């Protein structure tokens, strides 16, 4: 295949002293990419490389002088000029060589070796007049990664370009499916701005999507005389109804997956974030300003609880207690023991701006940076318990 390039392109350009026209550039690229892919196949690499339109456009937009300069400057310096973020490249390498003809350029197998790395998926190249009797070629082999997308992450893609909601810059992110909740943090400004968590099947969703507007089919607290009594009644119901189960993992092997509020309600079982999600959803449905909070608590590096703002006071609602006090504690009295890191409701995810030692104001815009995320029309988080209950009901009564 490489020999073929030598013949075909060598004949076209051998005696030409004019600038290299676009048709020749294109033909060289097509044949070179075909040759690279044929070689990848013989090396057992299934995935083919393609010419990346954005990368190729950028390269085509550079002057011949600039291309020729790569013969003198270090590849690192050149790669720094490459708009990697804009083109969403996670790694790139380049080679520059010159020869008497494009055919002999293409024939130098060593020159293409970066294209034979399994991780390389895009290439771009450009021929130029190096000197009167020499043709130069700049070749870039790179790994292009997609923009962040939860469904791709759930399908196994782990490397993404994400645009930071705080500083608006794109940054490269590598996500590991190992944590209860993953806060996505910007590598430029060092701020977190998104929060995702795995459901019972191991699929990740934005934290806000777990709050679905669910309200249990009970009139609990409805007849109370004060809003504080109503709040306390719902808190008490969640605490007494749901057995705390640290390692409950549903039908997935995965520990610490998140349950939807209807699942936790019907299973009567869940760990700290499951019961917090249920309580928060219920309180929000009753018109309370409530957030689910994740942070440190006594003996727990990662814990979840709820906070509610009512009549100028903020209450901290712990859902893993054996029994609850008559009146919920205000956040001040719990501030030494509970250290929040992030919180969310149905529309927004909130991150602590700095980390003061003691935080008892969970709603101050001065302390918390908030990012709004759209509420989906229909929930993307599957309700496992309800579905399986419905299907087992259906199978009992065909």
**Shortest distance, position 175 Cβ to Zn ion, whole Å:** 16
**Shortest distance, position 132 Cβ to Zn ion, whole Å:** 49
**Residue 111 per-residue DSSP state:** G
**Residue 67 per-residue DSSP state:** H
Three-class secondary structure of residue 94 per DSSP: strand
Closest CA to 70 of 143, 142, 139, 124: 139
Please name the residue that has the structure tokens 């029309």. 377
**Shortest distance, position 167 Cβ to Zn ion, whole Å:** 3
Closest CA to 70 of 102, 95, 51: 95
316 touches 334 (CB < 8 A): yes
Q: Which is nearer to Zn ion, 141 or 183 (CB)?
A: 183
**Shortest distance, position 196 Cβ to Zn ion, whole Å:** 17
Question: Whole-angstrom Cα distance, residue 110 to residue 131?
Answer: 22
Of these, 68, 166, 215, 370, which contacts Zn ion (CB under 5 A)? 166
Closest CA to 204 of 194, 196, 214: 196
Of these, 50, 77, 118, 167, which contacts Zn ion (CB under 5 A)? 167
**Shortest distance, position 184 Cβ to Zn ion, whole Å:** 10
Question: Residue 84 contacts by C-beta under 8 Å, 6 or more apart in sequence?
Answer: 90, 92
Question: Whole-angstrom Cα distance, residue 396 to residue 380?
Answer: 28
**Shortest distance, position 187 Cβ to Zn ion, whole Å:** 8
The 273-292 contact track toward Zn ion, x by CB under 5 A, reads --------------------
Q: Which is nearer to Zn ion, 14 or 169 (CB)?
A: 169
Q: Which is nearer to Zn ion, 59 or 186 (CB)?
A: 186
Checking DSSP bridges between strand 269-270 and strand 243-244, what pairing results, if any? parallel
Question: Whole-angstrom Cα distance, residue 178 to residue 157?
Answer: 14
Q: Is 164 in the site for Zn ion (CB under 5 A)?
A: yes
Q: Is 229 in the site for Zn ion (CB under 5 A)?
A: no
- Chain positions 343 to 372 lying near Zn ion, rule: CB under 5 A, are none
The 123-162 contact track toward Zn ion, x by CB under 5 A, reads ----------------------------------------
Q: Which is nearer to Zn ion, 173 or 270 (CB)?
A: 173
Q: Which is nearer to Zn ion, 193 or 305 (CB)?
A: 193
Q: Which is nearer to Zn ion, 162 or 385 (CB)?
A: 162
**Shortest distance, position 353 Cβ to Zn ion, whole Å:** 13
What Cα–Cα distance (Å) separates residue 71 from each residue in 32, 75, 103?
20, 9, 19
Q: Which is nearer to Zn ion, 194 or 273 (CB)?
A: 194
- Chain positions 169 to 198 lying near Zn ion, rule: CB under 5 A, are 186, 188-189
* 118 phi, psi to nearest 5 deg: -60, -35
Q: Which is nearer to Zn ion, 126 or 341 (CB)?
A: 341
First to last CA, the chain: 64
Quote the tokens at residue 389: 């209950």
**Shortest distance, position 169 Cβ to Zn ion, whole Å:** 5
- Contacts to Zn ion by CB under 5 A: 164, 166-167, 186, 188-189
């Amino acid at each position: 295949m490489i020999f073929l390039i030598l013949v075909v392109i060598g004949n076209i350009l051998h005696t030409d002293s004019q600038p290299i026209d676009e048709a020749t550039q294109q033909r060289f690229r097509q044949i070179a990419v075909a040759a690279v892919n044929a070689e990848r196949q013989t090396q057992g690499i299934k995935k083919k490389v393609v010419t990346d339109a954005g990368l190729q456009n950028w390269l085509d937009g550079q002057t011949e002088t600039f291309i020729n300069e790569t013969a003198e400057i270090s590849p690192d310096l050149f790669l720094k000029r490459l708009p990697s973020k804009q083109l969403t490249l996670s790694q790139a390498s380049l080679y520059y060589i010159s020869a008497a003809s494009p055919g002999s350029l293409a024939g130098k197998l060593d020159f293409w070796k970066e294209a034979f790395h399994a991780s390389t998926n895009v290439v771009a190249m450009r021929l130029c007049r190096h000197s009167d009797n020499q043709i130069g070629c700049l070749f870039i082999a790179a790994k292009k990664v997609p923009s962040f997308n939860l469904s791709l992450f759930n399908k196994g893609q782990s490397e993404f370009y994400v645009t930071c909601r705080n500083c608006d810059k794109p940054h490269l992110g590598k996500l590991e499916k190992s944590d209860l909740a993953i806060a996505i943090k910007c590598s430029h400004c060092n701020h977190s701005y998104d929060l995702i968590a795995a459901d019972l099947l191991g699929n990740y969703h934005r934290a806000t999507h777990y709050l679905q507007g669910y309200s249990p089919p009970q009139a609990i607290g409805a007849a109370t005389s004060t809003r504080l009594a109503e709040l306390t009644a719902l808190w008490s119901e969640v605490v007494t109804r749901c057995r705390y189960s640290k390692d409950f993992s549903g039908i997935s092997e995965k520990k610490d997956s998140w349950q939807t509020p209807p699942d936790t309600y019907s299973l009567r079982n869940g760990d700290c974030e499951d019961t917090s999600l249920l309580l928060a959803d219920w309180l929000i449905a009753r018109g309370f300003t409530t957030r689910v909070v994740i942070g440190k608590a006594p003996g727990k590096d990662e814990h979840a609880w709820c906070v509610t703002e009512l009549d100028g006071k903020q209450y901290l609602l712990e859902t893993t207690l054996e029994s609850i006090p008559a009146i919920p504690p205000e956040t001040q009295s719990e501030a030494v023991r509970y250290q929040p890191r992030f919180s969310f409701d149905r529309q927004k995810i909130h991150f602590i701006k700095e980390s003061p030692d003691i935080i008892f104001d969970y709603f101050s815009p001065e302390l918390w940076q908030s990012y709004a995320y759209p509420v989906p029309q229909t929930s993307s988080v599957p309700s496992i318990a309800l579905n399986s209950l419905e299907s087992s009901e259906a199978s009992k009564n065909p």
